[in-house]
Amino acid sequence: MSNIQILKRLYKDYTKYYIGKILAAVIFSILVAGSTSATAYLLDPAIDKIFLNKDQSLLLLIPFLIIIAFTTKGISLYIAKFLMINVAEEVKKKIQMNMLSSFIKADTEYIENKHTGKYISNLNFDVNQITMMLSTSFLNFFKDGFTLIGLLSVMFFQNWRLSLIAIIMIPLASLTAKRLGKRIGKVTTEAQEKSGDLNKYLIDLFKNHKIIKIFQREKFENDRSEKFVNDLKEKQIKISTVFIRATPIMEILTGIMIAILIFYSGKLIMNDQLSLNNFFSFLAAMMLAYQPVRSLATINIGIGQGLSAGKRILPIIDSKNLIDDNHDKKEINLQNGEIEFIDVSFNYLSNVQNQVLKNINLKIIGSRMTALVGQSGSGKSTLLNLIPRIYDPKSGVLKVDGQNIKEINLNSLRKEISIVDQNVTLFDDTVFNNIKYAKPDANDEEIYKAAELSMCTDFIEKLNNKYQTKIGENGVKLSGGEKQRLSIARAFLKDSKIILLDEATSSLDSETEEKIQKALNKLTLNKTTVVIAHRLSTILNSDKIYVMDKGIIVDTGNHEQLLKNSETYKNFYNKQIYKN
């Protein structure tokens, strides 16, 4: 996107909704400009009437008018800044909400393709750049632009010859700013990358804190953290350095201008072509114009930062899902819940050369339990995730009760599916709310019943606040088995017709597993259940078993059939016996 396109987009989607406040800020900016110019102009009659002619009639009036001018300037500037800060924060909120909405709706594979820390940096660092552009750069553009126009008017009114000399500084300052603006965009992008790297590291640091302790890697991580912080520091120094590069140039230009003006003014005063009061009024206007000229000279740097951030943010907001939710398509007509894979192949976008699933053909019997067995990495979990369309096949068709799931309403499909994953995901919330997440409209009794069926009641009753106990980030205050049981409780509460179990009892001890297995038998009764099985109890309970190896189905049958006919299954089964 070009810079013009980004500005148009930011206006169309965000700032136009606050045009009233922006116009009000512009009006107050005009008052700031007028009062600043009035201050410079009032020096003319002050020097002429009071100091030179000793006219006492203006001795009170001019100081009073100067107080009025400064008061007007101060109040107007405050209101203008207040209005633009409010606009910027409203825009910031809206952009962040749009980004969060995009993250929430995004395909899982899209989210997995970039580290969480990078997205956090986009959400914070980049959005702040846009906020600064709106609250500071745009306000300064109006405020300092009008102020410069007003002061130039005073200067030309006092002496047009001196004014022509003074305004030479403006194009010189603009040329300097243009060169610095190109540099700031590049440096800001680099700083955003380093900010993302630091966020990535922080997430990994907190997630793996226990591992750091066990392997005694504190010094290594301390050194590594210093590198990430230092890299960001260096980029921030570069940004600040680029900003202040304009300062010595502006100071030198101003010094040269003042020297030339004093020399030329002296000549004019000596030749009676310029009065002393005109000169001081002109000089005051020119000195006051120094600040807006410097501000306008660097304003494109702030705008450049905002536009650079916009180039990174807008593609995230505009990202289109590969998995269509089909909200306008018909809802699924679920009867037996039979699932069929027809020539299904799949590979991840991050590794297109490696096919995870290769021409899979299988039929999962409705209202029965089907097991997937195989070594780690054989494609079992990926196959499971294709059923609720967490991912879509790269080729082939997946049908539920004869209906192509790509051609039905996605919400209606997922409404009929529950999943209990080996990697349990919980929220930093209460036990009660974590269970209720599966069915927001559930009443208390339904939640208590789900907890009872999943064998959660015994450990919940021992917690300090029972169901209202906060369990920490991803359930850090609970054991692995307790987290697993909460995950199972959610599946009980949803009570869907298709149950997906990805090693659902992997974190349970033998005693708890036996109880959970009984509960799962109730949960899966007369329901289509697809289970990734490592435990013997699960395998033996399955009506049909598919043996997977390196992304293909190598054998199928029930337990007895596979023991007779499949060497792969026999080896797998023997390993399970040995483990148990």
Domains of the chain: 3-317 (1.20.1560.10), 368-376+416-579 (3.40.50.300)
Q: Which residues contact 197 (CB under 8 A, 6 or more apart)?
A: 117, 228, 231, 232
The per-residue pLDDT for 79 is 93
Q: Judge whether 117 and 203 are in contact, CB under 8 Å.
A: yes
**In this structure, how many other beta carbons lie within 10 angstroms of the beta carbon of residue 512?**
18
The per-residue pLDDT for 505 is 64
Q: Where are the alpha helices (DSSP H) in 399-441?
A: 410-415, 431-436
The token pair at 393 is: 């096949």
Distance CA 501, CA 488 (A): 9
Q: Judge whether 555 and 568 are in contact, CB under 8 Å.
A: yes
- Residue 114: half-sphere exposure toward Cβ, Cα within 13 Å: 16
Question: Which strand (E) or helix (H) includes residue 29?
Answer: helix 19-45
Q: Judge whether 41 and 79 are in contact, CB under 8 Å.
A: no
pTM of the model: 0.77
The per-residue pLDDT for 173 is 64
The token pair at 3 is: 């810079």
The per-residue pLDDT for 177 is 61
The per-residue pLDDT for 138 is 82
Q: Which residues contact 431 (CB under 8 A, 6 or more apart)?
A: 451, 456, 460, 463, 466, 467, 468, 469, 471, 486
CA angle 29, 31, 37 (to 5 degrees): 105
From residue 190, alpha-carbon distances to 176, 204, 235 in Å are 22, 21, 7
Q: Please, what sign has the CA dihedral across residues 18, 21, 23, 26?
A: negative
In terms of Cα–Cα distance, which of 287, 273, 292 is closest to 173? 292
The token pair at 411 is: 């919400």
From residue 93, alpha-carbon distances to 90, 122, 138, 374, 450 in Å are 5, 14, 18, 48, 38
Q: Judge whether 158 and 282 are in contact, CB under 8 Å.
A: yes
The beta-strand segments (E) located in 365-407 are: 369-374, 395-400, 403-404
- Mean pLDDT by groups of 10 residues along the chain of 580 residues: 84 88 92 89 78 75 88 92 90 89 84 78 84 82 86 83 76 66 70 79 75 75 84 81 71 77 82 78 78 74 81 86 87 90 88 83 89 84 90 91 92 89 83 90 91 87 89 82 85 89 68 72 84 74 86 88 84 66
**In this structure, how many other beta carbons lie within 10 angstroms of the beta carbon of residue 357?**
26
The token pair at 531 is: 């289970």
Amino acid at 511: E
